Structure 1
Amino acid sequence: MSKKLILSGWCVFFSLITTAQSQDSLQNIISLKEIVVSASKIPLERKETAKPVQVIDFEQIQRSEGKDLAQLLHEQSGLVINGAFSNPGKNKDVFIRGASSEYTLVLIDGIPITDAAGLGGAFDLRLLPLQQVERIEILKGSQSTLYGSDAIAGVINIITRGPKEGIFSFDAALSAGSLNTSQASLSVSGKADVLGYNIGYSRFYTEGISEATDNVDTVDFDKDGSQREAFQANFELTPSTSLKISPFVRYTDLTNNYDDGSFADAANIFTSEVFNPGTRITYLKNNFQINGLYSFVQTDRKFNSSFGESVFKGRTHNLDIIANYRLNENFQVIGGIYRQEAKVLDDEATEKDPSFTITSPYVSLLVTGFNKFNAELGYRLNDHSEYGNEGTYSAAVSYDISPRVTLFGTYGTGFKSPNLNQLFGRFGPNPDLKPQSSRSYEGGLRFNLLDQKLSGELTYFDRSIEDVIIYDFSVGYQNRDEQNDFGVEASFTYQFLPRWSLTAHYNFVDGEVTLPLTSERDSTFHNLIRRPKHSFMLSLNAEPIKHLFISLQGQYLGDRSDSFYNSENFQTEPASLDAYFLVNGYVSYEATSALTIFADVKNITDTDYIESTGFSTLGFNMQAGIQVHL
């Protein structure tokens, strides 16, 4: 599919929408009044931001018991989570619009949660239980101007549960199901005078399946189980109407059994402990607001295998100070400074206990509701202790061509700094690496038609990344390739009855890497491993009777290319993955105001499929349980 064909289709669709929409003065749909914070780092109504924000709200999360965080994200338009339906303990790779996991920045409550000792620095989705999440905001496209390194493909901001109104409330959930899987969570929450609290604990256990696929059927591969315990405490202290102090602490202990790779059984053990304390301070006076965010991330990971024991310890400090001044009802200025200090505790690295710091001042001008325009212009300067300065900038604009149709476009540059393993690690480090840099743009429209029954969004995007860091066994890490990706996203929701709705999204993504062969000749080839060109989801959500909710969902992923390491000939070999279609279902019944019964069923048709060559996937499986709210 060529870019010209995609753009032509976009123009045709745009003309149909603008012809179909009515000319009355109805305001944007109610969902656009929802408050979001990720797009500009300050609370805004969705209709006020020029950036398209995808929100997973609390109701949707409550109706996702039995799923994990990776499976819920996999349902969202533009996201593919490879491993979401493999063995529960297998690693989960986040692909936003075809980009590798390392180009997506994960935030928890607006603060980066990177792993200094990780190979790519990406957050491990297995560490955070969904029961501790209040909502999720997803920003696609380059967000480096506001969020710095790693935000080349987008940002996922996971907002945890805070104090509830009232002196005391109690929430609990208990479920069990296939693979001898069980999950329990409980939390207490409340507010009294100037103090608020939310304290939660969850435990997950499963026997799992064999992580690796037995391709010869001559031996019985053992099951690779997983268990996780997680604790979280959020507090609020409000000494005055202008000042709020919100300290927090999170701790997760994860243990997984894992195999030696594709088609290779083993009795390996992986453990990961994450300790994450911090605080958020907010001061608001008239038209001026300042936020201070601090967090410390301590990660301790250990791999026990036939190769012995490998230990990785990372320490990261994050500090972000954000000031916002409203000039008038249409114009605001946002400015701040961010500092990150990252260290790996490793005596065997080429530089003992390597570390770096990034200091980044940034500024943004925000325009809201000015003659039907919303806009945001921003710039960020990143001062890295190892490679110097890197500047990024961005622009986003939206225009309400009618009360029901909004046209939007964004352009941004981004960067990803080399991580400490690439700069100073044990295998092939290169202290002369440059940051990877990107430019991306997107354009599209949001619409709300047929008396607010039909709403949706259509987007075209294009992204280029230069100085891509690759690993070459002969020379180690180096800047070499150029990556180019483009595609289309289309999502629709149609409410055809008061409590019945149909949601659909379609995604097309294509990409290629340019590999320099000589000073005069390059080689270009498709390289989106495990990422489909075509994917779609169709979901029917209904409340046929009061208190009963039913959801039926179909997910399609098209053909994909893959590669795997063949342990018999010690070579990396190409592979092809067939398309597949999964049918999943969910049902819940609110028996009383305090008790809800639910069941989550995945792969109802027991489809045989592959997410990664040589690794197993889940057949028919289900979880059932109860939720208690007191």
Structure 2
Amino acid sequence: MKKNYLAVAASLGLVQLGLQVNTAHAQSAKSADTSKSLNEVVVTATRSPKKLADIGRVVTVIGPEEIRQSQGKTVPQLLNSVAGITFSGAQNNMGISSSLYVRGASVGNTLILIDGFPVNNAGSIDGSYDLNAFSVDQIERIEILKGSGSTLYGSDAVAGVINIITKHPKTPGLKADVQLSGGSYNTFKESAGLSGKLNKTGIALNVSNVDSKGFPAATDTTGKAGFKNDGYHQRAVSLNLDQQLSDKLTLNGNFQTSYNYGDLPDGAFTDDPNYTYHNTFLFGGIGAKYLLPKGALQLNVSQNTVWNKFLESPSAANFNTSYEGKNIGRITNAELIYNQTLNQNFDITSGAGFKYSNTSQFSHYSQPGYDPGPNVSGPDNNITSVFSSLFFKSDIFHMELGGRYNNHSKYGGNFTYTINPSVIIADRFKIFGTAASAFKAPSLYQLASQYGNNDLKPETTTSYEAGFDWSITNTLSFNTVFYKRKTTDVIYFYTNPSTFKSYYQNGNLEDDKGFESELNYHIEGLTASAYAAYVTGTQTDTKGVDTHNLLRRPRNTYGASIAYDVTKVFEVGVNYKYTGERSDTHFLNVAPYSRVEGLAPYSLVDLHVQAKATKKLSLYVDLNNLFDAKYIDWIGYNTRGFNAYGGLKYQIN
């Protein structure tokens, strides 16, 4: 507790100091990355450029400044500092998959986009995409829409949409940069970028390499301290191309790939010196945009493929167990989107889409005297959809009315809707509300793997939210959102206590509710923000028994951050987050074989320092978990203690 109080005191003290200091020697205004004026333009919420004042939602933007200050972090760690988002496992060893929860919704209910292209993984258990595949230095900004986005984005956007916008060419001529960094756990990273425009052609290329010896991923309770370090390695390439063919027609291409490999434990509390993984992520997208007199027509086609391979060699440590698992997930997307301004009060966004998903699953587990043979499956499905949202705008009143019709190859047709009114008062105070529905089909893994159940029904969700966004002054803003979400036919993993057979099945009802509040302040050379979030929920099983369903998700989180230009060439940033009590499942070797246990709350403080040594050379240091907090995210797995990283970036014009 003393460490928590120290962390809070340090953060609040720095905020107070920052508000009192003289900012006369700050060189340039820093836009508040997570604070926004109502005049800021975003695209994710409506699939067309609109001011926040014209949108009846709160959209969080992580901008270039915050990303630049997060080079020592992973993408899950970066997103974990956003109100209403919990990235459970983000502080585990590098390479260990983390779980994304937006407003308490289950993993797989948040759609991940790369520059507007969907990238969910058809081969994973819940269809979710591993954001460890991304390197932070490839990202320009991130737009986050919390709440249902299923009308405009489809079945995976039940709880929200995270749009990762990669670096794009901006200025004439070519510019290059090189970054080198290193730090704790023998982690080293090298990256290089090239971007710019040549006539009507733009290019942005980024390559990066990460190597880390890591630390033991599993918690050692043997008392022998003999668990091995689990290493991690990543090779990543990002390429964006733009070609302006005419004043009205532009083509763009997007290519992302990463190869990740490393070591794994044999599960909670269990080391395995011979268990490894190899993951390859490959994404390609092509888009064409044609400008109309009062709108635009856009065609997007993309292919996302993920290869996963897991190998466990026999040894005394694993009782001579042999395991090989391989899966490939493929998703093909095609969308045609039409945006049109009808008159000064109405505009419309409509479109049609086709999504094909396929996975190849192979697993083979054996021990001496036991070899059931390999398990092989190759299911696929597709979904065709049409959607439209009508937007009304007057001086004070705004409204979105939207609907989407989906036709699933297994489950047939269904309709989802969005109703989203908002009122603007004195150009500074926005009140809004939303009622929306969503449909989510079971993943291919849940249907056809060795634990699959072909009789699963899709989940259906109805969600409501209400709130306000207040630009108190040009430098200070405050927003609060209350939400409620009800999901029927919830899919969960079940083990029969009599037969010990495990499989996926539908539950009855899941009911979640909560709120988020954010306060943001920014002036020249200084940004500060604070937030608080709360979520709670119950799940009612088929027998009518209520249980707390938010495993690994805290009811309470809050945090604060500050970034300050001390001089023209020296800046400091501090980030604080409190994660409240939550629960996790502890699996046992004896009856009852599992039990739910509570996890203690914890606080983390991170410090970022950056200096501009010359016009072209910048140096930075990141000190994470500054007070070396001891905590658990997952039972049986280790988390990072105090860790430090330093690096440099050199700009080549």
TM-score by length of 2: 0.88
Structure 2 residue 583 is matched with structure 1 residue 558: no
1:27-77 Cα deviation digits (max 9, x unpaired): xx9733332111111112222222221111112111211111011100111
Alignment of 1:274-353 (within 5 A): 274-305=281-312, 306-346=321-361, 353=378
Greater Cα shift, 591-600 or 385-394: 591-600
Deviation at 1:350, TM superposition (A): 9.0
Structure 2 residue 428 is matched with structure 1 residue 380: no
Alignment of 1:165-244 (within 5 A): 165-244=171-250
Deviation at 1:127, TM superposition (A): 0.3
Paired amino acid for 1:511: G
Equivalent residues of 1:134, 1:160 under 8 A apart: yes
Equivalent residues of 2:37, 2:471 under 8 A apart: no
1:314-357 Cα deviation digits (max 9, x unpaired): 11101111011110122111110111001112478999521101
Structure 2 residue 509 is matched with structure 1 residue 482: yes
How far apart, CA to CA, are the structure 2 residues paired with 1:568 and 1:543?
A: 57
How far apart, CA to CA, are the structure 1 residues paired with 2:589 and 2:335?
A: 46
Paired amino acid for 1:115: N
How far apart, CA to CA, are the structure 2 residues paired with 1:445 and 1:438?
A: 23
Tell me what 1:593 maps to: 615
Tell me what 1:18 maps to: none
How far apart, CA to CA, are the structure 1 residues paired with 2:641 and 2:421?
A: 45
SS in 2 for 1:47: helix
Paired amino acid for 2:356: E
How far apart, CA to CA, are the structure 2 residues paired with 1:419 and 1:112?
A: 16
Paired amino acid for 1:505: Y
Deviation at 1:470, TM superposition (A): 2.0
Structure 2 unaligned residues grouped into runs of 5+:
1-34, 313-320, 364-373, 496-500
SS in 2 for 1:222: coil
Q: 2:440 aligns with which of 416, 421, 437?
A: 416
SS in 2 for 1:221: coil
Structure 2 residue 395 is matched with structure 1 residue 371: yes
Structure 2 residue 530 is matched with structure 1 residue 469: no
Equivalent residues of 2:110, 2:157 under 8 A apart: yes
How far apart, CA to CA, are the structure 2 residues paired with 1:593 and 1:382?
A: 54
Equivalent residues of 2:37, 2:474 under 8 A apart: no
How far apart, CA to CA, are the structure 2 residues paired with 1:375 and 1:59?
A: 33
Structure 2 residue 385 is matched with structure 1 residue 360: yes
Report runs of 4+ in structure 1 exceeding 6 Å deviation. Answer: 347-351
Paired amino acid for 2:541: L
How far apart, CA to CA, are the structure 2 residues paired with 1:402 and 1:545?
A: 37
How far apart, CA to CA, are the structure 1 residues paired with 2:389 and 2:395?
A: 20
How far apart, CA to CA, are the structure 1 residues paired with 2:86 and 2:294?
A: 41
Deviation at 1:219, TM superposition (A): 4.1
How far apart, CA to CA, are the structure 1 residues paired with 2:117 and 2:593?
A: 40
SS in 2 for 1:33: coil
Greater Cα shift, 358-367 or 564-573: 564-573
Equivalent residues of 2:117, 2:285 under 8 A apart: no
How far apart, CA to CA, are the structure 1 residues paired with 2:457 and 2:148?
A: 18
1:546-576 Cα deviation digits (max 9, x unpaired): 1221111221111111112224668122221
How far apart, CA to CA, are the structure 1 residues paired with 2:276 and 2:502?
A: 31
Deviation at 1:120, TM superposition (A): 0.5
Equivalent residues of 1:424, 1:430 under 8 A apart: yes
Change (3 A) 1:487 1:30: closer
Paired amino acid for 1:317: T
Paired amino acid for 2:343: N
Structure 2 residue 63 is matched with structure 1 residue 35: no
How far apart, CA to CA, are the structure 1 residues paired with 2:87 and 2:435?
A: 25
Alignment of 1:149-168 (within 5 A): 149-168=155-174
Tell me what 1:439 maps to: 462
Equivalent pairs counted in the alignment come to 594
Deviation at 1:177, TM superposition (A): 0.6
SS in 2 for 1:413: strand
SS in 2 for 1:70: helix
Deviation at 1:477, TM superposition (A): 2.4
How far apart, CA to CA, are the structure 2 residues paired with 1:172 and 1:350?
A: 46
Change (3 A) 1:400 1:219: same
How far apart, CA to CA, are the structure 1 residues paired with 2:526 and 2:117?
A: 37
Paired amino acid for 2:346: F
How far apart, CA to CA, are the structure 2 residues paired with 1:352 and 1:539?
A: 48
Equivalent residues of 2:80, 2:87 under 8 A apart: yes
Equivalent residues of 1:351, 1:424 under 8 A apart: no
Paired amino acid for 1:48: D
Equivalent residues of 1:136, 1:156 under 8 A apart: yes
Change (3 A) 1:114 1:401: same
1:493-546 Cα deviation digits (max 9, x unpaired): 234x643343110011111101121xxxx1112121111111110112211221
1:213-234 Cα deviation digits (max 9, x unpaired): 1123124110001111111111
Change (3 A) 1:431 1:568: closer
Equivalent residues of 2:123, 2:361 under 8 A apart: no
How far apart, CA to CA, are the structure 2 residues paired with 1:556 and 1:280?
A: 41
Q: 2:534 aligns with which of 508, 524, 527?
A: 508
SS in 2 for 1:240: coil
How far apart, CA to CA, are the structure 2 residues paired with 1:132 and 1:259?
A: 29
Equivalent residues of 2:75, 2:134 under 8 A apart: yes
Q: What do you get for the CA RMSD once the two structures are aligned?
A: 1.8
Q: 2:638 aligns with which of 605, 616, 619?
A: 616
Q: 2:84 aligns with which of 78, 81, 102?
A: 78
Change (3 A) 1:494 1:125: same
How far apart, CA to CA, are the structure 2 residues paired with 1:540 and 1:32?
A: 21
1:584-626 Cα deviation digits (max 9, x unpaired): 1001112233221111110111111111111101111011001
How far apart, CA to CA, are the structure 1 residues paired with 2:231 and 2:276?
A: 10
Change (3 A) 1:500 1:160: closer
How far apart, CA to CA, are the structure 2 residues paired with 1:132 and 1:354?
A: 33
Paired amino acid for 1:327: L
Paired amino acid for 2:81: E
Q: 1:109 aligns with which of 105, 115, 118?
A: 115
Structure 2 residue 296 is matched with structure 1 residue 273: no
Q: 1:452 aligns with which of 426, 449, 474?
A: 474
1:380-438 Cα deviation digits (max 9, x unpaired): 011000110121001112211222211111111011111112222232x2323221010
Tell me what 1:395 maps to: 419
Tell me what 1:246 maps to: 252
- Matched-pair identity in %: 34
Equivalent residues of 1:253, 1:273 under 8 A apart: yes
Tell me what 2:4 maps to: none
